[in-house]
Structures are given as C-alpha cells and as structure tokens.
C-alpha cells in the first residue's frame, strides 16, 4: 500500500468545480486520454457504481469503481476489483475566497504485476495523478460558467 496526498488551488468557484469533477459520466469527454470508456452499472442516492476502462502509466485496465458524492465538498472513489482493488481516492473541495482548494488523499493498493510498480514508482504515480488533476482543472476553467 502507498498512501499519499496532494493539494492544489484552482481558480474556479468550489461549487462549479465540484459539479464538474463529480460528473463522472463526462470523464471520457473531459479526459479522453485517461478515461477510455465508462458505463454506469447502478446508481442509488449519492452512490454510483461505474465500469471504467482507464489508461494510467501506459497501461489500460478495466475496473469497477464506486463513486460516493457528498455535496458540496467530498467525492470518494473506491476501486472494487482489478489489480487496484481496495484503492481509495478521497477528494475534498474547500472554498478559498472565489477559488477552490482541492485535497486528494490516496490509499493506493496494487496487486499482481502492478504491486512491484507501486513499490518502486510511488513518486511517478503521485506525479502522474497531479498531472491528471492539472488537466482536469484546466478543463474546468475553460468550461465553467
């Protein structure tokens, strides 16, 4: 297991950024180089299970995720199967004036061939995730109201 967290200040209103970043149905539009396909399996209340085909660190993987949206400021994503089963992304969105402070805590669990990757590439995984967040923030800035 690899635990890490990072924070970014985004020049967009928290409620707008939260709405965009929890609209996982559009992730294939927002970040098509990472989210290759996405299908909602079931949705009840604030919990949605999604089958995702992802590309991360040069690997394409299929995974079922559970998205828990706690408006107005928290989005939790749990990996339910695959080589990253048990991984949790806990995203928090805090108003800072007219900007948003995003904090993402990651409990990264990898198995199989990826387990070795986690031991040797924690910094690469973390920096790749920061790049994804930067790209997501750039999209949000362009598409906010």
% the chain with pLDDT above 70: 90
At 6-18, the pLDDT tens digits run 899 999 999 999 9
Question: Using one digit for the tens of pLDDT, what is the confidence trace for 35-72?
Answer: 999 999 999 999 999 999 998 778 898 999 999 999 99
Q: Which residues pair with 49 in a beta bridge?
A: 42, 66
The percent helix, strand, coil of the chain (3-state, each to 5) is 30, 45, 25
Of residues 133 and 118, the one with the higher pLDDT is 133
User: Vertex 45, ends 40 and 49: CA angle to 5°?
Assistant: 25
More confident: 89 or 120: 89
Residues recorded for the chain = 145
Residue 116 is predicted with a pLDDT of 56
Q: Around Cβ 71, how many Cβ atoms within 10 Å?
A: 12
> Diameter of the chain by CA atoms?
44
Burial of 3 (0-12, 13-18, 19+ CB in 10 A): exposed
The yes/no answer on whether domain 2-143 falls in CATH 3.40.50.740 is no
The pTM of this model reads: 0.87
- Per the prediction, the chain carries an average pLDDT of 87
Closest CA to 37 of 19, 50, 47, 48: 50
Contact between 16 and 140 under an 8 Å Cβ cutoff? The reply is yes
Helix axes 14-21, 122-143, angle to 10 degrees: 110
What is the per-residue pLDDT for 120? 57
Whole-number pLDDT of residue 118: 57
More confidently predicted of 38 and 127: 38
What are the domain boundaries of the chain? 2-143
**What Rg value do the Cα atoms of the chain yield, rounded?**
15
Q: Which pair of tokens denotes residue 19?
A: 């709405």
Mean of pLDDT values over 83-92: 90
pLDDT of residue 1: 52
């Amino acid at each position: 297991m690899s635990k890490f967290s990072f924070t970014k200040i985004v020049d967009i209103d928290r409620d707008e950024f939260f709405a965009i970043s929890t609209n996982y149905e559009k992730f294939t539009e927002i970040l098509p180089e990472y989210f290759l396909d996405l299908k909602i399996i079931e949705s009840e209340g604030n919990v949605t299970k999604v089958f995702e085909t992802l590309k991360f660190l040069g690997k394409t993987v299929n995974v079922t995720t559970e998205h828990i949206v706690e408006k107005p400021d928290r989005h939790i994503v749990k990996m339910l199967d695959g080589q990253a089963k048990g991984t949790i992304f806990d995203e928090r969105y805090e108003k800072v004036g007219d900007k948003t402070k995003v904090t993402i805590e990651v409990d990264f669990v990898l198995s199989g061939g990826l387990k070795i990757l986690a031991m040797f590439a924690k910094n690469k995984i973390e920096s790749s995730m920061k790049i994804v967040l930067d790209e997501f923030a750039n999209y949000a800035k362009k598409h906010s109201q």
